[in-house]
Amino acid sequence: MQVTDYLTRRYATKAFDPNKVIPEPLVKELMASLRYSASSTNIQPWHFIVASTAEGKARLAKGAQGNYSYNEAKILNASHVVLFCSRTQIDDAHLQKVLAAEAAAGRFDAAPEAKAASHNTRLLYLNFHKYDKKDVPHWLEKQVYLNLGTLLYSAAVLGLDAVPLEGIDQAVLDQEFDLNAKDLTAVAAVALGYHADSDFNAKLPKARLAEEEIFTLI
């Protein structure tokens, strides 16, 4: 299959079949896609809460009440739901953890001096957003959205259905999982599984702006 085959197959699932469960090997692939997603300077400012049990999905569904109740059934009926959490700040402990992971992977074996360069580059970008742009939380959330896109495409490649959910009460979920105490905050969720026969959106053609509207070739 071509890349476009997966992209045109993917759509925002509106109703999941609660009787269909994603096989564990595919769950492992999805989790690997979350681990290996790109982020600016490899800063990896994320944490993921993965709900697959009825109890776990019920906890996530607490963030889909009131004005967000239209997403409750998606959360409860999906096979798995991933809550994307972003770090609210980056401290030295996190920087050192990332650097240690890079070293353990052997990234500096051929050039030991690259270790300091990697750390300094990450620190340069962090300080730019901290002191110049003053938008560290926003910058970190943008990295999380890169990861969200990776998961949606990975699900399509694996033949799974998915829907991103920004319509959640982030404050409720921050409290439910005590995220702020861990310097984390809820950003968005993705529900994954297999669409129900009643999902009207599965039968609709994909619509995008024409190429001439969105590309400038120079």
Query: Which entry of 72, 74, 133, 141 is annotated as an active-site residue?
Result: 74
d(CA 189, CA 82): 5
Q: Label residue 54 exposed, middle or buried (CB < 10 Å: 0-12, 13-18, 19+).
A: exposed
182: annotated active-site residue: no
Say whether 74 is catalytic.
Answer: yes
Q: Among residues 14, 57, 72, 141, which one is catalytic?
A: 14
Phi-psi region for residue 66, left (φ > 0), alpha (ψ -120 to 50) or beta? left
Choose, from 72, 166, 176, 211, the residue flagged as catalytic.
166
Distance CA(122)–CA(128), nearest Å, equals: 10
| CB neighbour list of residue 156: distance below 8 Å, 6 or more residues apart | 6, 7, 9, 10, 162
Residue 133 is a catalytic residue? no
Q: Which residues have a catalytic role annotated?
A: 14, 74, 166
